[in-house]
């Protein structure tokens, strides 16, 4: 869902979504997720425009057509600024165990990322229960340092996604179809 009705979401509803996220399972029960609720339109716009400028430059560098890169970046800004609620889920690296070997450290980080993802899923399911729609966007992963700088986040907070939430517009398209389940399941 990327287009929302021009209707605010009550703070109590946003808090309900965050509580649902907070009850997600987490590796070692560390609850290593952190959520940044972007409450002002000015901050949402600043973040959206800075991320879009970075993406546009990368698209052009990757040999994309300049006008197409500009168009895609503009759409990205509108997706973020057009949402009544924007939440940045982060992984707090300070909550992770430390290991002397890279293999176990990578596994620990992956468990942290999985924990944040589970919390995001809880949040999006709770949004649906409230009659809201949500969209998971991966853009912050491609520019974590820019996001941390723009939002003045603690240095141990690693952005993992951007969640937009709002009431659906009447003309909003229905979610894309899914592949047949059999394409994604191996039974042994």
Residue 163 lies in a domain: yes
Domain total for the chain? 1
Residue 18 lies in a domain: yes
Residue 113 has pLDDT above 90, yes or no: yes
What's the per-residue H, E or C state across 33-66? EEEEECCCHHHHHHHHHHHHHHHHHHHHHCCCCH
How far lies 142's CA from each of 99, 169, 186, in Å? 26, 29, 31
Mean pLDDT, rounded, for 67-75? 92
* Residue 130 tokens, joined: 């409230």
Residue 156 lies in a domain: yes
Residue 60 lies in a domain: no
User: What is the overall mean pLDDT for the chain?
Assistant: 95
CATH of the domain at 34: 3.40.109.10
Mean pLDDT, rounded, for 130-137? 96
Query: What pLDDT is recorded for position 114?
Result: 98
Residue 77 lies in a domain: no
Question: Comparing C-alpha atoms, which of 122, 175, 176, 171 is closest to residue 6?
Answer: 171
Residue 177 lies in a domain: no
Indicate yes or no: pTM above 0.75: yes
Q: pLDDT tens digits for 19-28?
A: 999 999 999 9
Residue 151 has pLDDT above 70, yes or no: yes
Residue 27 lies in a domain: yes
Share of the chain above pLDDT 90, in %: 88
Residue 186 lies in a domain: no
Residue 50 has pLDDT above 70, yes or no: yes
Query: What pLDDT is recorded for position 63?
Result: 78
Please give the span between the terminal C-alpha atoms of the chain, in angstroms, as a whole number. 35
* Domain that includes residue 29, residue range: 11-38+85-168
Residue 39 has pLDDT above 70, yes or no: yes
Residue 1 has pLDDT above 60, yes or no: no
Residue 176 has pLDDT above 80, yes or no: no
């Amino acid at each position: 869902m990327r287009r929302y009705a021009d209707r605010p979401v009550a703070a109590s509803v946003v808090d309900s979504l965050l509580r649902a996220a907070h009850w997600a399972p987490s590796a070692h029960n560390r609850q290593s997720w952190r959520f940044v609720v972007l409450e002002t339109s000015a901050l949402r716009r600043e973040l959206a425009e800075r991320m879009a400028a970075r993406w546009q430059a990368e698209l052009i560098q990757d040999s994309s057509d300049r006008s197409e890169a500009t168009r895609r970046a503009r759409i990205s800004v509108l997706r973020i600024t057009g949402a009544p609620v924007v939440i940045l889920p982060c992984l707090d690296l300070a909550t992770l165990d430390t290991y002397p070997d890279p293999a176990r450290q990578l596994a620990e980080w992956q468990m942290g990322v999985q924990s944040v993802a589970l919390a995001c899923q809880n949040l999006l399911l709770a949004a649906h229960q409230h009659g809201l729609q949500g969209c998971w966007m991966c853009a912050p992963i491609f520019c974590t340092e820019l996001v941390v700088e723009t939002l003045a986040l603690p240095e141990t907070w690693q952005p993992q996604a951007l969640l937009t939430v709002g009431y659906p517009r009447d003309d909003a398209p229905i979610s894309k179809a899914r592949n047949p389940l059999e394409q994604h399941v191996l039974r042994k």
